[in-house]
Amino acid sequence: MSESKSESKPENQTPQKIPLAVAIAGVGLLVGGGVAALWFLWKQQPSAQLPSGTTLVPNEALMSISLSTDSREWEKLRQFGTPESQAWFDEQLLTLRDRLLSDNGYNYQEDIEPWVGKEITIAFLPPIPVEVSESEGEGETANSDGEGEPEQNGEENAETPSLSGIPRGNQSIVLLLPIANASRAQQVLENAPTPQSGAWTTREYKGVEIKENPGTDSDLYAVTVLDGKFLAVANSRYGIDRTVDTYKGALSLADLPNAGKIWQKLEGDRAFARLFVNIPVASAVASLNRQNARIDEIAKLQPNQGLAATATIENDGIAFDSAMWRRPKSERTYSVENKAKMMADRLPAAMSIAIVGSNLQGLWNDYVAEIDVNPIAVINPQWLRTAIKTTTNLDLEQDLLSWMAGEFALAMIPPAEDNASTFPASVVLMVQASDVKAGEETLAKLDERMQEAYQFKLSRETIGDRELVTWQSPQSSLIVTRGWLDGNVAFLSVGAPLADRIVPKPQTSLRTNTLFQSTVPAQPTPSNGYVFIDVENLLALNAPELRLPTQQGAFLDAIRAIGLRMAVENDRTLRHHLFVRLKQAGEALPLPPAQPDRPPSSESGSPTTPTPENNN
């Protein structure tokens, strides 16, 4: 659990730490893992559930990440992967270390380790103005019970600050380092080296002294100490000023509705990293690459409030615990439907990818309802409707999804050892029909359409008591098989022959797969669905579509398997447990010592550095 960063520790009791640059490098790891983490502390009464520093992150930040400074955790992380991925990861750590510390005249062991606390926080402010004042839940904060209530902390909190001061296109980043040993921090700060661009300058903002290098907006470096508890560093005046505003009482990320209540649910005692995403702002920023994107509308209409996650380093990988929740006033809620129970018994044990859910029709309806505020939507609903209508003469919603309101599975399955086809795998869709008669009528129409419009050759065979229909293209380049399992589960497979491995049921099912058992988290239960990816199996297929550039391929090769389990906790909260099982590269070699471009400056006459004692 986090401890108060205002307490000083004797030098011989200071926990092991890792260089600041090393900690920042973890951002890329967490984001690249798909999921990737984290949180902070209340302004007046710190909460052990929240990451330290949250109360200093402005509420318009799109994301904040908190990372452990414990070197033992980072050494465990460096041992994962393959020799190639291990070397790449170490190279990134060295680059960041030298850029942020050595090149600026700092040595981590001498200048940072003696005073820094257990967890640093990195906040990302939006690169463009995002008006969120009309967002649902604005002006509310999370009390100790996690419920939204009007903010009563004074005039500064009554309105959301204008973001017009953000330079368009520039990402404002704020780094918050907790001070665990104030006297040692003061010694280091008083002897801060002179920036490469010239002598430090100082200015005052709302009674707080801020020290800056004489750079332009594009290479500005600003630093201040807040209440003797945090050293704040930013790459823009906007970022450092907004951090001071928040320190003085403006709304922070910790004040977003229900943030405290959500954090109490997450596994945080052993967390290596913790992530918080302010979804309305993040959605608006992510939509910048969309043509004609309505930035402010996306922020206002986004029904989700936030995503919180913790990451814990285990012996064989990284475990993530996360929650996503709706805004208190959002009219859109989640359907509490956790019925993903049977598909693991219907899929074969040999598996590359398996995606299982509770309700295919409901999943599609939710996707379509929020398409306008989903900046990362991969499928245009109208395009898919048109494609299906043109190809099959069927209506997606009326003819297909209308009877697909049950559990479903979409899987990629490696071929049998005696496979003679040219396909590297089989892709199968299974759907539990909510209306079997409607499903049979639709599939009969589909048989007729494929035969008449595309001259597919149709054949029928019986396995056990099940009749299967196979479509074969004129050149035999495509083979599709469909049928029914146990009366109400329809399936359709494309690619390598698969029917005899799932009809009437698999000889060994996915549930018996030991990698599946040890990778897909057992909780939450009951679940709304799960995802299992056997990465080694997937890469072994040698499909041209799966070939990646060398660097990305090396990163993927470091992963053995990925497992995700989801549940709808209530009508406003989703829970996710993710586990990334990693290979072991072995004990990592010590990082080479820094080679600074210049020694630390001992010049006198530079402006006095803000210290832990002079900003109360």
- Across 130-139, 142-151, 489-498, 578-587, least confident range: 142-151
Is 455 part of a structural domain of the chain? yes
Is 175 part of a structural domain of the chain? yes
Same domain, 286 and 345: no
Which phi and psi (to 5°) does residue 379 adopt? Answer: -125, 125
Contact 299, 93 (CB under 8 A): no
Q: What is the mean pLDDT of residues 467-477?
A: 89
Cβ-proximal residues to 7 (8 Å cutoff; 6+ apart), any chain: 180
Same domain, 309 and 348: no
**Please, what is the Cα angle at 385 between 384 and 388, to 5 degrees?**
80
Is 308 part of a structural domain of the chain? yes
Whole-prediction pTM = 0.83
Q: What is the pLDDT of residue 38?
A: 24
Report the DSSP beta bridge partners of residue 207: none
Which residue among 282, 314, 346 closes a domain? 314
Same domain, 305 and 220: yes
Read out DSSP for 96-150?
HHHHHTGGGT--IIIIITTTB-SEEEEEEE-SS----TTSTTTTEEE-TT--EEE
Q: What is the pLDDT of residue 220?
A: 78
Q: What is the mean pLDDT of residues 198-208?
A: 89
Which of 192-196, 264-268, 462-466 is the most confident on average? 462-466
Same domain, 159 and 240: yes
Same domain, 292 and 409: no
Q: What is the pLDDT of residue 42?
A: 25
Q: What is the mean pLDDT of residues 548-554?
A: 68
Dist CA 135 CA 483 (whole Å): 48
Dist CA 528 CA 336 (whole Å): 8
**CA Rg, the chain, in Å?**
28
Which of 18-27, 136-145, 367-376, 595-604 is the most confident on average? 367-376
Same domain, 364 and 302: no
- pLDDT single digits (tens) 564-577: 999 999 999 999 99
Which residue among 314, 348, 380 closes a domain? 314
Is 605 part of a structural domain of the chain? no
Dist CA 273 CA 68 (whole Å): 6
Same domain, 309 and 339: no
Percentage above 90 pLDDT, the chain: 51
Is 448 part of a structural domain of the chain? yes
- pLDDT single digits (tens) 11-41: 333 333 333 333 333 333 232 332 222 222 2
Q: What is the pLDDT of residue 43?
A: 30
Is 582 part of a structural domain of the chain? no
Same domain, 78 and 174: yes
- pLDDT single digits (tens) 512-546: 999 999 999 999 999 999 999 999 999 888 776 66
pLDDT band of 64, cuts 50, 70, 90: very high
Same domain, 566 and 474: yes
Q: What is the mean pLDDT of residues 120-142?
A: 67
Q: What is the pLDDT of residue 361?
A: 96
Residue 456 has pLDDT above 70, yes or no: yes
Which of 5-9, 49-53, 89-93 is the most confident on average? 89-93
Is 598 part of a structural domain of the chain? no
Question: Shortest CA distance to 232 belongs to which of 175, 270, 189?
Answer: 175
Same domain, 343 and 309: no
Q: What is the pLDDT of residue 63?
A: 94
Q: What is the pLDDT of residue 101?
A: 72
- pLDDT single digits (tens) 236-272: 899 999 999 999 999 999 999 999 889 888 877 789 9
Dist CA 309 CA 134 (whole Å): 26
The 8-class DSSP code of residue 359 comes to -
The 8-class DSSP code of residue 400 comes to I
Same domain, 410 and 367: yes
Q: What is the pLDDT of residue 566?
A: 97
Count of structural domains, the chain? 2
Q: Quote the mean pLDDT of the chain.
A: 80
Dist CA 362 CA 404 (whole Å): 9
**Burial grade of 466 (CB within 10 A; 0-12, 13-18, 19 or more):** middle
Host domain of residue 192 = 16-314
Helices (H), 455-570: 499-502, 514-519, 535-540, 550-557
Q: How far is CA 14 from the centre of its chain?
A: 31
Q: What is the mean pLDDT of residues 176-184?
A: 91
- Both tokens of residue 203? 């200015």
Which residue among 555, 570, 585 closes a domain? 570
Q: What is the pLDDT of residue 27?
A: 30
Same domain, 283 and 364: no
Tell the residue number behind the tokens 């320190």, with chain if given. Answer: 247
- pLDDT single digits (tens) 274-311: 999 999 999 999 888 776 778 888 888 899 999 999 99
Q: How far apart are the first and last CA of the chain?
A: 27
Is 611 part of a structural domain of the chain? no
pLDDT band of 178, cuts 50, 70, 90: very high
- Across 56-65, 190-199, 533-542, least confident range: 190-199
More confident residue, 609 or 105: 105
Q: What is the pLDDT of residue 14?
A: 35
